[in-house]
């Protein structure tokens, strides 16, 4: 099993451009698996971990309700935001500057073939990262993501998840609010959940954080939990 994972920090990147890049990496892995099965080969499949930020954008998962977008196209244009209906699970969410988005494109045959375990480990990496900042977070039963004050009137989400998996290959991922402009969440019903708010590290701690510092901490936890052998793209060295 190949546990080597190529890490790339793409910085601030257009959502569609990054989505196309994900799709290309995803298709490449699936093609190797298909060839292995067809020709009875055992070629190694690659794994990738992408970190990035996006300009203001709303994305709607394949099972989502477009009515959870509360504004029209003209208003989105005024706010400098775009909208895409995409092929991940989940409902609607927002991405924007100050939010750390992670896209693990992994062949889970290299790790474990359990999509629920995969999601729980992603959540755990975020929970452990937030703990380093003195923030107690947890899962909320029946709701994906990482939350604060679960079971109270003040329950709020700090990290959203939405993934796609085919033949144990994953794409899409998570979005952790660090220094996000939370006003953009007011244009949607986030993840289709009407009775809970969203928050960010900045909102909880009362100060802006160094996103690169958060990236480093989260990356360490992902490597440990997934037992990854991480290596870097040349442009990140």
Strand pairing partners for 164? 171
Task: Output the 3-class SS for 75-135.
Answer: HHHHCCCEEEECCCCCCEEEECCCEEEEEEECEHHHCCCCHHHHHHHHHHHHHHHHHCCCC
Catalytic residue among 52, 159, 191, 210: 191
CB atoms within 10 A of CB 86: 16
Rounded Cα–Cα distance for residues 48 and 230 (Å)? 9
**Is residue 191 among the annotated active site residues?**
yes
Rounded Cα–Cα distance for residues 88 and 153 (Å)? 29
Report strand pairing: 197-198 vs 169-177.
unpaired
Strand order in the sheet with 92-95: 82-85, 57-60, 92-95
Q: Which helix (H) or strand (E) holds 18?
A: helix 15-39
Strand pairing partners for 233? none
Task: Output the 3-class SS for 42-62.
Answer: CCCCCCEEEEEECCCEEEECC
- For 138-204, give the DSSP string: EEETTEEEEEESTTSTT-EEEEEEEEEEETTEEEEEEEEESS--GGGGGGB-GGG-SS-EE--HHHH
Q: Residues with catalytic annotation?
A: 191
């Amino acid at each position: 099993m190949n546990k080597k994972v190529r890490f790339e920090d793409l910085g601030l990147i257009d959502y569609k451009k990054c989505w196309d890049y994900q799709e290309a990496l995803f298709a490449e892995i699936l093609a190797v698996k298909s060839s292995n099965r067809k020709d009875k080969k055992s070629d190694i499949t690659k794994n990738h971990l992408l970190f990035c930020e996006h300009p203001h954008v709303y994305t709607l998962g394949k099972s989502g309700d477009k009515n959870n977008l509360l504004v029209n196209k003209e208003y989105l244009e005024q706010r400098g935001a775009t909208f895409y209906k995409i092929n991940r699970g989940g409902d609607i969410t927002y991405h924007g500057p100050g939010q750390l988005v992670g896209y693990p494109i992994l062949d889970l045959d290299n790790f474990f073939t359990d999509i629920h375990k995969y999601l729980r480990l992603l959540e755990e990496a975020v929970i452990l990262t937030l703990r380093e900042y003195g923030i107690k977070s947890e899962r909320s039963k029946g709701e994906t993501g990482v939350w604060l004050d679960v079971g109270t009137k003040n329950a709020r989400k700090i990290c959203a998840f939405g993934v796609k998996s085919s033949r144990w290959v994953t794409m899409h991922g998570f979005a952790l609010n660090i220094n996000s402009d939370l006003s953009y969440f007011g244009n949607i019903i986030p993840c289709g959940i009407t009775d809970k708010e969203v928050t960010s590290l900045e909102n909880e701690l009362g100060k802006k954080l160094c996103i690169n510092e958060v990236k480093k901490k989260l990356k360490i936890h992902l490597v440990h939990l997934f037992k990854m052998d991480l290596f870097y793209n040349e442009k990140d060295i």
